[in-house]
Amino acid sequence: MADRTHHVPSPAMRQQSTTVQDLRDNRLADSSKKGYRSGMKQIVKWLQTSGRSARLNADGSLNLTVFSYMDFTEFVLYKYKDAGTQAGAIKPGTKQPLRHHQYIELCMASLVKLDGGFTHLFLILSWNLMCRSRSTATVRIDHFSDEGDALGVTFFKSKTDQGGTKRRDPKHVYANPQQPGTCCILALAIYLACNPEHDSGDLFPGCAQRDRFGRSLSQLVGYALPELASAVGTHSLRKGAATFAIGGSTSGPSIVNVCIRCGWSIGSVVERYVHYDGAGDQYVGRVVAGLPIDSGDFAALPPHFVSSSEGVVDAAGALVFPRLWSHESLRGVLVLCLASLVHHKVFLEDTLPAKHPLLSSVLFGDVGMTTLLRANVTLLSSSMQPTGIPPHVSLHTQLEKDLAAVRALPGEIRDGIESLLDEKGVAAGNITHALLEQLLKNAVASVVDTRPVIVSARSPAQDESVPVRPVHYWGGRWHLLAEDYELPSVDVSTGWHLWWCGSPARDIPPLYKISVSMLPYAYTNNIVVQLFTGYAKIARVTLLRHKDTRASRGVAIVLFSQPEDCKKACKAQAIVKSMMLSGSMSNDDGRSGDFIKKREYSSKKPSVCFECTLSWTSTCVSP
């Protein structure tokens, strides 16, 4: 400690060793020194790349005795002309904004993904809210609110407001009935219907949901937009939505409203006097929803139920959203979601793959409920008024009505003239076409009874309570399921419903009635070997198939060398790929000789081996 203190210079010694240059350096801030050093490094790099290393010292520093003012002027010209690094230049590593037509392609590609609507909703919600993916991952169910003809989403904190001290105003999200593939309300409805056990809480429960979406988005871009695989990321949605809202039309929303919706700073002075406005945010919401700004359809209302359908809607909502429906504050949001599902039912059935969990939901399986709901869904209403509509849209609407009236005018004039001529001709005693046609009808009716003949024979009574389902012929026999049917990956409640009720709308019987022979697929030899190698060494595995169609018979013969091993295998049950295995033991007495033409056992004596006749049946367990 004493030695260390001995080497510390005293204040007097430090004052004596201080030079004028030290005093000058002390007047500069550290940030200024850092900037000067960076500039010197750029000059040195330019001298090295331009072949002027003679102006550098041996240690690589700049030789100020050789470096002249003309050299510095050339360096400045290089920076502003040749290097292309002037202020505002786009860095090559940043992500590009996503164009609107590219966004539509990604939406259609995400719609058919078998992830329960996660990627589709995350993608559309990020675009419509114009927010960061990190903010989208924090959205909760109770952040949604019913705003009449739109849904409201309120953020309680963001990157620029971690403490939640700023105003909490909802961002309006609108439906797009003309483009259901990009409709945010429909995307939310698909996600909630595919996850009926979802309760109030995080909209995307689980950790690292933002990273999950990032990986899924990369796959989508690689599939739908392969040329932009390295240029599009999660931040491209925010850039693209803001660019589309401002530059999509010359009559679009103001840049101030776009910045407020994005949460960007517009300067302390402007922020002090310009605040959030509902009409401005509603206008931005309709634009980013993809509604045509140059048409009367810009004022389109979302699919909604008529006022006299509360009883039917309550019963259906409790089935489609069993847990969320109990929250009164979410009823308005869920009613709009249910109406969108019913209105776009045909589109979803034509677009989604057969294994999509939405098609196995209660709504798409009950024909009667869907028909009753469809009769109560409308796009026009006298009680619901569109919001966020600029004045020129009403002019577009009136012009479209006038155009339709003008186009219908020639037909009305023609019909009126024909009617007038017929009336005048009859009054003058002329035989007109209409008069002749009526006279012939009266003459025929007086002679021949044209009414349909009533068949007296009674047809056998049919029990309407018993469902009638089509059968399918494949594999040499009739089946209740089509050959290309695959068990969907659904949640427990939907699987339970399919097990006992099936899906009448899709002609799928209750799955508990399905036998092994009705399933068009089977295990492979490798799967069976992997399942039973834990018990003992397997002599041979043979899967039984139809000799002509090669369709599975749902049976496999597994040969063991010891009866104890075979007994263990028979007692075990395993579930793989939604099928349950069960086995039964018997001695190898040649019963399988019709299926196995050549046997290769460890011993040629059949009595040495024991066979486990393995069969499998379908279950409602998700793979």
In this structure, are 531 and 510 located in the same domain? no
* pLDDT at residue 600, rounded to an integer: 37
The total number of structural domains in the chain stands at: 4
The tens digit of pLDDT for each residue in 227-252 reads 998 899 999 999 999 999 988 677 78
Higher pLDDT, 346 or 593: 346
Residue 365 has pLDDT above 80, yes or no: yes
Answer yes or no: do 509 and 524 share one domain: no
Q: Do residues 522 and 552 touch, judged by C-beta distance below 8 A?
A: yes
Residue 43 has pLDDT above 80, yes or no: yes
CA–CA separation, 244 vs 237, rounded Å?
Answer: 10
For residue 159 the two structure tokens come to 């990157």
Q: Which two tokens stand for residue 599?
A: 């046997």
Same domain, 524 and 512: no
Task: Tell which of 275, 302, 329 closes a domain.
Answer: 302
**What CA–CA distances, in Å, run from 258 to 146, 185, 277, 388?**
22, 21, 11, 14
342 close to 377: Cβ distance less than 8 angstroms? yes
Mean pLDDT of 518-526: 52
Q: Answer yes or no: is 419 within a domain.
A: no
The pLDDT of residue 232 is 93
Distance CA 303, CA 370 (A): 14
Tokens of 103: 């966004």
478 with 540, same domain: the answer is no
Whether 241 is covered by a domain: the verdict is: yes
Residue 548 sits in a domain whose CATH number is 3.30.70
78 and 178 in a single domain? The answer is no
Q: Report the distance separating Cα 261 and Cα 244, nearest Å.
A: 14
Q: How confident is the model at residue 593 (pLDDT cuts 50, 70, 90)?
A: very low
Residue 511 lies in a domain: yes
Same domain? For 150 and 290 the reply is yes
Q: When comparing pLDDT for 196 and 504, which is higher?
A: 196
Lowest-pLDDT range of 221-235, 292-306, 524-538? 524-538
Q: Where residue 234 sits, what CATH number does that domain have?
A: 1.10.443.10
Average pLDDT of 441-459? 60
Is 128 inside a domain boundary?
Answer: yes
Is residue 132 in a domain? yes
249 vs 572: which has the higher pLDDT: 249
CA distance 596 to 589: 13
Q: What is the mean pLDDT of residues 443-452?
A: 64
Question: What does the pLDDT read at residue 23?
Answer: 67
pLDDT bracket for residue 548 (50, 70, 90): low
Per-residue tokens: 471: 């059968």
Residue 267, domain member (yes or no): yes
Largest alpha-carbon pair distance within the chain?
139
> 154 and 242 share a domain?
yes
Catalogue the E-assigned strands of 468-535: 472-474, 477-479
Domain end point (choices 243, 275, 302): 302
Residue 226 lies in a domain: yes
Whole-model pTM: value is: 0.64
Q: Which of 6-10, 93-97, 192-196, 502-506 has the highest mean pLDDT?
A: 192-196
- Judge whether residue 312 has pLDDT over 80: yes
Cβ-contact 160, 288 below 8 angstroms: no
Between helices 255-262 and 234-247, what is the axis angle to 10°? 160
Cα 43 to its chain centre, rounded Å, is 51
- What is the distance between the alpha carbons of residues 411 and 395, in angstroms, rounded to a whole number? 26
Question: Which has the minimum average pLDDT: 40-49, 200-209, 432-441, 500-509?
Answer: 432-441
Asked if residue 409 has pLDDT above 90, the reply is no
Least trusted range by pLDDT, from 140-154, 169-183, 509-523, 578-592: 578-592
| Mean confidence (pLDDT) of the chain | 77
Q: Are 177 and 245 in a shared domain?
A: yes
Do 589 and 564 reside in the same domain of the chain?
Answer: yes
pLDDT at 454 over 70: no
First-to-last alpha carbon distance for the chain, in angstroms, is 70
312-318: long-range pairs with CB below 8 Å, 24+: 312/372, 312/373, 312/376, 313/338, 313/373, 313/376, 315/369, 316/363, 316/369, 316/373
Per-residue pLDDT tens over the stretch 100-116:
999 999 999 999 999 99
Q: d(Cα 24, Cα 17) in Å, to the nearest integer?
A: 14
Question: Which of 284, 302, 320 corresponds to the end of one domain?
Answer: 302
pLDDT at 303 over 60: yes
Find the helix or strand (DSSP H, E) in which 3 lies. Answer: helix 2-6
- The alpha carbon of residue 58 and the mean position of all alpha carbons in its chain are separated, in whole angstroms, by 62
The answer to whether position 377 is within a domain reads no
**Per-residue pLDDT averaged across 529-555, rounded?**
60
Secondary structure element (H or E) that encloses residue 335, with its range: helix 331-343
182 and 295 inside one domain = yes
**Do 160 and 264 reside in the same domain of the chain?**
yes
Q: Which domain holds residue 44?
A: 18-82
Q: Are residues 172 and 61 in the same domain?
A: no
The tokens describing 399, both together, are 């012009």
Match 């989208």 to its residue by tokens: 136
pLDDT in tens, 160-217: 666 655 667 899 999 999 999 999 999 999 999 999 988 888 999 988 999 999 999 9
Question: What pLDDT is attached to residue 266?
Answer: 79
